[in-house]
Structure 1
Amino acid sequence: MPASASFLPFMGATAAPGPEGYAAAIFGAPYGTPYPGIDHRIYRAAPDAFRNALAEDSAWLDHWDFDLGGPLLRHGLPVCDLGNLPGRAKDGPGNRRLIEETTRRILEANAVPIMFGGDDSVPIPFIAAYSNQPPIVILQIDAHIDWRDERHGETMGFSSTMRRASEHGHVWRIVQAGIRGLGSAREGELRDALNWGAHIVTAREIHHAGVQAVLSHIPEDCDCVISLDCDALDASLMPAVAYPTPGGLDYTQVTDLIAGVAARARIAGFAMVEFVQGRDPAGTAAFTAARIAAHVIARIEKRA
């Protein structure tokens, strides 16, 4: 499990050594599966950047939040923060093992796992950990579809996240929202995604038709795991990513997606990844991302 000492817990959470007795458990996964020649250490500060972004607001938990329609934890949902996993930048297998084991323990404690990454390879073991749970629907909010089978000879990297998810028997639907621009996918990967049955909703479709274009693909009463790549947001709001792309989603669209999922289904897990603190000198991008995570906690509490 992550070390729970000497870190600032995320807003409203209690620092704890384990998830038992809590309804939701946060943990940081700074490292995933590296690609040769790509420095994934640029993401390692993300979990603490999210925590620090809301440090001042942590003293105002009883104040009315107009985005949430009330205080963040109005009913006192017990949320813990387990700290960061002690991974290593170049140890892909070890990092995956730590993430999967931690996620499984949280699920076995009947808590909702909330993971702060790390690059977009960290959802691969996060999703794998649901194999003993009820089947899940994945909502990926991302600029890219991540259906590469391999890249640079590595099959577990950030370009393969949804491909690996599609191979699990416990994943029965994948909905991909905010897709746009140029990524690692080629025509073959797009065809494979569509042939599998993935529902791909581009950012342009959301801008024109609203978030209902995505929510119509989320079945009623399902268990939904949300995987949010920060590059899903428009570059003007979220410059702190490795591959900023114009035409992305705004804060309200993303939080409306989260609220919409919670209204029709159960948020069974949340992962937020691909944040590069070095590209956020003012700290506003970290604040935006952290506020999105607070929305997730608030929506989990409403369903608890």
Structure 2
Amino acid sequence: MVALVSAPTNLGLRPPVRGGVPGTAKAPEALREAGLHRRLHAGGAVDAGVVLPGRYVDDDGRRPKGTVRNQAAIVDHARRLAHRLFEIRESGEAPLVLGGDCSLVIAAGLASRVSGGGGLVHIDGHTDFRHPGNSAAVGSVAGEDLAIAVGRHAPELAGIDGLGPYFDAGRVAHIGHRYEDAFAEEVRDAIALVVPADEVILHGAARAASRVRAIEGRGRDYWIQVDVDVLDPVHMPAVDSPDPGGLAPDELTALLRALAPHAWGASVTVFDPDLDPGGGHASTLVDVIAEGLAELGTALRED
């Protein structure tokens, strides 16, 4: 059974303008208004509450060097959300977290480490592999979350409570970046599988999903994090960093449908309703989630 968790965080994003606040915190309710909960409830999903973040602060110029904006609040939110995910996993349900920004992967990693482990399938239009060792521009977790997930970032983020790395790099797959991504080669050396968006478009979602299942092995229990900027901005411009060359909604839906049954949970991130005043892009995303993630965790429950 899918358990819907709202995690309306914007803590890991840069401000849209100086002193501004990213709109991703509004995404869970925008998706509810667009009919996502109604559609998933019809298939047996249940609500599992809200885990609220702390207040967003644009602290550029004031935070210590080497830290990220809203760092303490991100760690606090990750701990609290991880506790909720642990409870849901232990109950035999599959959490579907509606974010929010990409910092949600930290909570998923913490919950994974304390509840039996598992892999990670990181679906994103960018590799999100910036870290203190390869960039002087560290500052936003939403561009650094994959590095954090595999222990390549500062221990304050990548080793909370001594639990890092949160995912074994040999069971981590990244899907969906554009070829010009600055960190793509480093990511190929760091994790088990990297599939650019072009390869999914050329060879199909089924092939990408089969490659993921091959690295996951017999257990096949992994977390899926899908940043909706993996979609081409022709279809999904309501994100903070839209780049051409992404997937179409039907391609992303097919990929998620193939991966979801063996996932113990998933998170959906970076949709910004402030950039979707007419609500049409929310409707597109509702279709992708409702059709792609409806079978979340079903194969694990059968096992």
The TM-score normalised by the length of structure 1 is: 0.76
Q: Which amino acid aligns with 2:281?
A: A
Matched, 1:242 2:223: no
Matched, 1:159 2:143: yes
Matched, 1:41 2:25: no
Once the two structures are TM-superposed, the CA of residue 251 in structure 1 deviates from its matched residue by 1.3
What residue number does 2:268 align with? Answer: 272
Q: Is the CA contact 1:205–1:213 (under 8 Å) kept in the aligned structure 2?
A: no
What residue number does 1:177 align with? Answer: 175
Kindly tell me the number of residue pairs found equivalent between the two proteins: 262
Alpha-carbon distance in 2 for matches of 1:194, 1:61: 35
Alpha-carbon distance in 1 for matches of 2:291, 2:259: 12
> 1:296–1:98: structure 2 CA closer, same or farther, 3 Å change rule?
farther
What residue number does 1:16 align with? Answer: none
What residue number does 1:195 align with? Answer: 189
Q: Which structure 2 residues correspond to residues 182-261 of structure 1 after superposition, within 5 A?
A: 186=182, 189-219=183-213, 221=218, 222-261=220-259
Alpha-carbon distance in 2 for matches of 1:140, 1:31: 18
Once the two structures are TM-superposed, the CA of residue 241 in structure 1 deviates from its matched residue by 0.5
Alpha-carbon distance in 2 for matches of 1:169, 1:127: 5
Q: Which amino acid aligns with 2:230?
A: A
Alpha-carbon distance in 2 for matches of 1:159, 1:49: 23
My pick for the range that moved more, 247-256 or 166-175, is 166-175
Alpha-carbon distance in 2 for matches of 1:109, 1:244: 37
What residue number does 1:289 align with? Answer: 285
Q: Describe the superposition over 1:110-145 as per-residue Cα deviations: whole angstroms up to 9, x where unpaired.
A: 221111111212222222211123332211111101
Once the two structures are TM-superposed, the CA of residue 254 in structure 1 deviates from its matched residue by 0.9
Alpha-carbon distance in 2 for matches of 1:225, 1:235: 25
Q: Is the CA contact 1:138–1:173 (under 8 Å) kept in the aligned structure 2?
A: yes
SS in 1 for 2:246: coil
Q: Is the CA contact 1:143–1:181 (under 8 Å) kept in the aligned structure 2?
A: no
- Structure 2: gaps (5+ residues): 58-72, 152-164
Q: Is the CA contact 2:130–2:138 (under 8 Å) kept in the aligned structure 1?
A: no
Q: CA RMSD in A?
A: 2.8
Q: Describe the superposition over 1:188-211 as per-residue Cα deviations: whole angstroms up to 9, x where unpaired.
A: x43432222331111111111111
Q: Which amino acid aligns with 2:240?
A: A
Alpha-carbon distance in 2 for matches of 1:170, 1:149: 17
Q: Which amino acid aligns with 1:83?
A: V
SS in 2 for 1:138: strand
What residue number does 1:87 align with? Answer: 54
Identity of matched residues, %: 25
> 1:287–1:152: structure 2 CA closer, same or farther, 3 Å change rule?
farther
Q: Which amino acid aligns with 1:134?
A: G
Alpha-carbon distance in 1 for matches of 2:242, 2:45: 35
Q: Is the CA contact 1:143–1:180 (under 8 Å) kept in the aligned structure 2?
A: yes
Alpha-carbon distance in 2 for matches of 1:93, 1:196: 24
Once the two structures are TM-superposed, the CA of residue 247 in structure 1 deviates from its matched residue by 1.5
SS in 1 for 2:171: strand
Q: Is the CA contact 2:262–2:297 (under 8 Å) kept in the aligned structure 1?
A: no
Higher helix share: 2
- Structure 1: gaps (5+ residues): 1-22, 63-71
Alpha-carbon distance in 2 for matches of 1:86, 1:149: 23
Once the two structures are TM-superposed, the CA of residue 250 in structure 1 deviates from its matched residue by 1.0
Once the two structures are TM-superposed, the CA of residue 279 in structure 1 deviates from its matched residue by 1.1
Q: Is the CA contact 1:174–1:197 (under 8 Å) kept in the aligned structure 2?
A: yes
